[in-house]
Each structure stands twice: as C-alpha cells, then as structure tokens.
Amino acid sequence: AQSVTQPDIHITVSEGASLELRCNYSYGATPYLFWYVQSPGQGLQLLLKYFSGDTLVQGIKGFEAEFKRSQSSFNLRKPSVHWSDAAEYFCAVGARTGGSYIPTFGRGTSLIVHP
C-alpha cells in the first residue's frame, strides 16, 4: 500500500525567506504525487502535481516541487515566502484503485510565517 511521510509537523520561516517542505513516499510503481494547501477554515487547494516527465514541477502561487526517485522524495519549495502562505500543507500520493487515483495524504506540515 502507498504511504506518505511528512517529517516536519511545523515549519517557521520569516517573510521573504526561502521555504522547503519535505515529503517522502512509499509506493511500488511510479507514483502520482501532489501537494495541497489548506488555509485556516478552508478546504484543500491543489498546488501542483507530478505524473511523469520533467522532475521539476511548477505550481500555482510560485511553488515548485522536485521528484527524486532515488530518494523517494517530492519536496515543495518556494524562493520567497509571503505572510499569506501561512497554512497547512499536505503531500499526497495517488495510487490507481479500480480506475481511480484517490490521493493518500500525509499528516501535513503547518507553515508559520513571521513578519
């Protein structure tokens, strides 16, 4: 079965600093990988996804993620964080199940942005 590990429960950065959120996955085949963001009191929004091809994926809001098969990782990055990026970030892996690719979510990383 597939699984996702987000080792950091909380990450604190200063506004304008760079950001990297870690994600490791476990899946036997080529995974479908995703990052979602959840602002307080909101539903989840898809930031970016990786299926195949270029291992550096660009997403919305200036985020990018890099797929590294050798490390089973799919870390999320942003060069300069804004206060509005404070939110919960979920990495997910989607495994094919009966024609669907229901994402399995990691436990989430809470991003705190200091002014």
Partner 1 sequence: DTEVTQTPKHLVMGMTNKKSLKCEQHMGHRAMYWYKQKAKKPPELMFVYSYEKLSINESVPSRFSPECPNSSLLNLHLHALQPEDSALYLCASSQTPASSYEQYFGPGTRLTVT
Cα 40 from Cα 38, distance rounded (Å)? 6
Angstrom distances, CA of residue 9 to CA of 31, 35, 54, 72, 107: 23, 15, 29, 19, 8
- CB atoms under 10 Å from CB of 107, counted, come to 13
> Contact between 52 and partner 1 (CB under 8 A)?
no
Closer of 51 and 83 to partner 1 (Cβ):
51
The nearest distance, CB 80 to partner 1, in angstroms, is 26
Choices 42-50, 56-64, 65-73, 78-86 (CB under 8 A): range interacting with partner 1:
42-50
> Contact between 89 and partner 1 (CB under 8 A)?
no
90 with 44: CB under 8 angstroms? Answer: yes
| The only residue of 5, 44, 73, 86 in contact with partner 1, by rule CB under 8 A | 44
Closer of 63 and 90 to partner 1 (Cβ):
90
> Contact between 43 and partner 1 (CB under 8 A)?
yes
39 with 49: CB under 8 angstroms? Answer: no
| The only residue of 13, 23, 47, 106 in contact with partner 1, by rule CB under 8 A | 106
22 φ, ψ to 5°?
Answer: -90, 145
Residues lying near partner 1 in the complex (CB under 8 A): 32, 34, 41-46, 49, 90, 94, 98-103, 105-108, 110
